[in-house]
């Protein structure tokens, strides 16, 4: 039974090497269970504790964008955040934003187009993308970028990056190479506009009136994990509507493995511990259509040698993948285009069955220099004076690795990779200058492409009637469709900001 053996092996390999960093995932197994509602009956509270025009659930890119736009459209707004700190996953990522047609692209001599970005999104998304939404993200990405920079005061680097799956350099990175470089200016703007941000507020229930309109929420205040069924609840009225910018569920082991049984607790995640499914389930309960939930992305640039998202992804995406190589330590050879989309690369690493090693030289490391002290200190990235020493550290054949690097260097010089067709549009240089830097990589659950179905105005669609659910809007990772089978790197930020702003403008009109 060779196929049998192979299948079992693949499954074992899939989970191998991931047991090192299960702490975060483990927490989610017990934390953030969905609240049990006694029946699916609508029931209005006797009295509302607070009233706003607009209630936004979630304080990441999407939620804060919606809140700012709704407030600017003269609505009273509150932002609810379940965690003790704002920002969710929006603060723990590399701060890369894919943008088409910016002045920075022009200054860098890059010619890009909406159709080129869409083609990249469709290729990674296997054509499962919702055509209108995907196009809107690409078309409005520069508007979102300029809103961040010119209205919010976000500082971006002047150099572009080329992320996996993009045919062209179009990733604009925040000055501090973190999503916090956008979240913090958003929080400041929200404060300046007088939008209250209430932390540790857990959504227990969306409340509909008799006509099926969402009119408010039942929440638990002073929330801590484990208190999901607390009876000390609080009622918040939303005169115009509720915007669910409640994120994805990559940390929720029980729920994610009901959609993809391979993603058990043995697989680590890049997400914060609050990335669970209770808000998604609550939207489904009131009639939302859950779409494409079984497409869950694994990040190929995550290291098993640190917890969560960590800092390795910044080194890998900006330095090693772009300006270096990724090899299978068993063969000391490359096995995939280091700039393929995330699904292609994650699947390729898993297929080797080995924790990959990504390498760059002293020139390549420059693009991630500011995270290097921490990565070296934490022994996630190591530095070596010679390729021989690097090979020895990872139990590789120095001879094969040197030959591999020489071969790769010849492709760089020829600007043509006949083996894996890596795009050399970032003026890549050969790997020659010591010291050499290396990191171990194994995929972690990163982004849930699926979510509730929305229309182009960020209104949530009712599964049975195909009409919109009055008073209910959603945006960001809590929605499905835009990315199809696989979200391209750095397209989450434009998606969240474009649809967050749309949701905020539309709920204010509701």
Span of 22-30, 276-284, 297-305, 390-398 interacting with a copy of itself by CB under 8 A: 276-284
> Is 487 in contact with 340 (CB distance < 8 Å)?
no
Q: Which CB, 8 or 19, lies closer to a copy of itself?
A: 8
Structural tokens at position 25: 């995932």
How many residues of this chain bind a copy of itself (CB under 8 A)? 63
Helices 492-509 + 131-139 axis angle, to 10: 100
> Is 384 in contact with 423 (CB distance < 8 Å)?
no
> Is 348 in contact with 355 (CB distance < 8 Å)?
no
> Is 48 in contact with 216 (CB distance < 8 Å)?
yes
CA distance 229 to 37: 9
Q: Which one is catalytic: 170, 256, 342, 501?
A: 342
Site for a copy of itself in 356-375 (CB under 8 A): none
Q: Is 307 in the site for a copy of itself (CB under 8 A)?
A: no
Q: Which helix (H) or strand (E) holds 138?
A: helix 131-139
Span of 7-15, 178-186, 240-248, 501-509 interacting with a copy of itself by CB under 8 A: 7-15
Phi, psi of 149 (to 5 degrees): -75, -50
Cβ neighbors of 39 (< 8 A, separation 6 or more) are none
Please confirm, yes or no, whether 205 is among the known catalytic residues.
no
Tell me whether residue 46 is exposed, middle or buried, using C-beta atoms within 10 angstroms of its C-beta: 0 to 12, 13 to 18, 19 or more.
exposed
Q: Is 420 in the site for a copy of itself (CB under 8 A)?
A: no
Q: Is 14 in the site for a copy of itself (CB under 8 A)?
A: yes
Q: In the set 159, 285, 363, 407, which binds a copy of itself (CB under 8 A)?
A: 285
Q: Is 453 in the site for a copy of itself (CB under 8 A)?
A: yes
Cβ neighbors of 224 (< 8 A, separation 6 or more) are 200
Q: Is 421 in the site for a copy of itself (CB under 8 A)?
A: no
CA distance 70 to 506: 8
Q: Is 259 in the site for a copy of itself (CB under 8 A)?
A: yes
Structural tokens at position 251: 């940390």
Q: Smallest distance from the beta carbon of 179 to a copy of itself, in angstroms? A: 28
Q: In the set 60, 95, 287, 324, which binds a copy of itself (CB under 8 A)?
A: 287
Q: Which CB, 262 or 307, lies closer to a copy of itself?
A: 262
Distance, CA of 344 to chain centre: 17
Q: Is 35 in the site for a copy of itself (CB under 8 A)?
A: yes
Q: Is 450 in the site for a copy of itself (CB under 8 A)?
A: yes
Active site residues: 342
Q: Residues interacting with a copy of itself, by CB under 8 A?
A: 1, 3-8, 10-11, 14, 34-37, 39-42, 113, 115-116, 118-120, 122-123, 127-131, 167, 208, 210, 212, 254, 258-262, 278, 281, 284-287, 289-295, 450, 453, 461, 463-466, 481, 484
């Amino acid at each position: 039974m060779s196929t049998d053996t192979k299948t079992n092996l693949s499954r074992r390999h899939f989970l191998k090497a991931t047991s090192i960093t299960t702490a975060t995932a483990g927490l989610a197994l017990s934390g953030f269970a969905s609240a049990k509602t006694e029946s699916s009956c609508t029931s209005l509270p006797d009295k509302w504790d607070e009233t706003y025009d607009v209630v936004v659930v979630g304080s990441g890119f999407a939620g804060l964008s919606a809140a700012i736009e709704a407030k600017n459209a003269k609505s009273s707004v509150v932002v609810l955040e379940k965690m003790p700190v704002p920002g969710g996953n929006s603060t723990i990522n590399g701060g890369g934003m894919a943008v088409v047609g910016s002045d920075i692209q022009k200054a860098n001599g890059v010619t890009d187009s909406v159709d080129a970005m869409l083609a990249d999104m469709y290729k990674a998304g296997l054509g499962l993308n919702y055509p209108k939404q995907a196009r809107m993200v690409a078309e409005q990405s520069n508007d979102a970028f300029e809103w961040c920079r010119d209205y919010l005061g976000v500082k971006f680097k002047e150099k572009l990056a080329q992320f996996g799956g993009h045919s062209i350099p179009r990733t604009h990175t925040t000055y501090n190479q973190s999503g916090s470089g956008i979240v913090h200016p958003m929080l400041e703007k929200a404060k300046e506009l007088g939008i209250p941000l209430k932390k540790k507020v857990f959504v227990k229930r969306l409340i509909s009136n008799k006509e099926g309109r969402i009119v408010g929420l039942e929440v638990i205040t002073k929330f801590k994990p484990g208190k999901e069924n607390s009876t000390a609840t609080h009622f918040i009225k939303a005169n115009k509507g509720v915007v669910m910018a409640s994120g994805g569920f990559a940390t929720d082991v029980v729920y994610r493995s009901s959609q993809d049984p391979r993603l058990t607790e043995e697989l680590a995640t890049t997400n914060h511990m609050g990335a669970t499914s209770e808000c998604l389930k609550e939207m489904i309960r009131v009639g939302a259509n859950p779409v494409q939930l079984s497409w869950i992305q694994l990040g190929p640039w995550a290291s098993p040698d640190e917890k969560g998202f960590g800092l390795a992804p910044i080194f890998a995406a900006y330095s090693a993948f772009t300006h270096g190589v990724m090899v299978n330590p068993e063969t000391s050879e490359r096995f995939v285009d280091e700039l393929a989309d995330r699904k292609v690369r994650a699947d390729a690493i898993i297929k080797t069955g080995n924790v990959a090693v990504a390498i760059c030289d002293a020139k390549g490391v420059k693009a991630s220099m500011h995270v290097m002290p921490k990565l070296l200190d934490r022994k996630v990235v190591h530095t070596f004076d010679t390729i021989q020493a690097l090979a020895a550290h990872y139990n590789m054949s120095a001879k094969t690795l040197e030959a591999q690097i020489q071969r790769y260097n010849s492709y760089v010089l020829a600007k043509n990779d006949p083996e894996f067709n890596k795009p050399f549009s970032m003026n890549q240089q050969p790997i020659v200058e010591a010291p050499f830097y290396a990191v171990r990589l194994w995929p972690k659950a990163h982004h849930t492409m699926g979510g509730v179905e929305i229309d182009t105005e960020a209104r949530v669609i009712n599964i049975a009637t195909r009409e919109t659910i009055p008073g209910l809007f959603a945006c960001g990772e809590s929605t499905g469709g835009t990315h199809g089978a696989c979200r391209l790197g750095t397209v989450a930020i434009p998606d969240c900001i474009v649809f967050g702003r749309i949701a905020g403008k539309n709920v204010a009109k509701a």
